[in-house]
Amino acid sequence: MEHVEATRTVFVSRTLSWRRRFLCLLTCALAGLPAAPGCAGYHIGNESLYPAGIQTVYVPVCKSNSFRRGFGEQLTEAIQKEIEKKTPFKVVGTPQADSTLLCTIVGEKKTVVARDIYNDPRELETKIQIQVQWLDRDQNLIRQMNPVPVPPDLVTISETQTLVPEVGQSVATAQLQTIQKLAKQIVGLMETPW
């Protein structure tokens, strides 16, 4: 009789622990239920970083006010690659896209930062300034929040790159690195603010 009583006690205690676990899970689920509507506006993935309703971007060749050849083409290629790599947008070759990204190179210069004892340049700096407009299909500006107040129709971006000729760096490689940094900044501006 003692054996039957001990078995029954073990069965009752196992049943109670299963019921306790079930009630604990049910309580936790019900406690989280009121918070669920508050999370309804959140999205997951990189699509949530960019404006909804835009799937394609047209990036025409960047205009250039520089006397150096090839800057506009290099910047356009870098921007297109960056958009394809980092965003959910598809770059298309037609102006009938959902949006158009217009870029103009407004300034480019090379300055000497440091000279050696023979007055030869030891360290140089290249700087490129561009203006960017991102327009929707109806030619309305797609507004982005920027940390620095800028005119609503244009965003001016500049990037610099230091080079040291003595270690084998050239102006061409420094300018290419500057263009790649600019492309990253432009794609960063396409993100929707928090």
Same domain for 59 and 6? Answer: no
pLDDT digits (tens, 9 = 90+) for 73-88: 999 999 999 999 998 8
Same domain for 56 and 33? Answer: no
pLDDT digits (tens, 9 = 90+) for 98-133: 999 998 888 888 888 888 888 888 888 888 888 888
Nearest to 62 by CA among 138, 149, 157: 157
* Segments of the chain assigned E as strands: 56-58, 63-64, 90-92, 99-115, 121-136, 155-163
Q: How many domains, the chain?
A: 2
d(CA 112, CA 17): 77
* Predicted TM-score (pTM) of this structure: 0.66
Same domain for 35 and 52? Answer: no
Cβ atoms 166, 123 nearer than 8 A: no
Same domain for 24 and 54? Answer: no
Show the domain range for 8. Answer: 2-39
* 194 is a domain residue: no
d(CA 62, CA 41): 36
Per-residue pLDDT of the chain (194 residues; tens, 9 = 90+): 555 454 444 444 455 566 677 766 667 666 655 555 555 555 555 556 778 888 999 999 999 887 778 888 999 999 999 999 998 899 999 888 999 999 888 888 888 888 888 888 888 888 888 888 888 888 888 754 343 344 444 456 667 777 777 777 787 888 888 888 889 988 888 887 66
> What CATH number is given to the structural domain containing 150?
3.30.160.150
For residue 35, the 8-state DSSP code is: G
Same domain for 7 and 94? Answer: no
Same domain for 101 and 148? Answer: yes
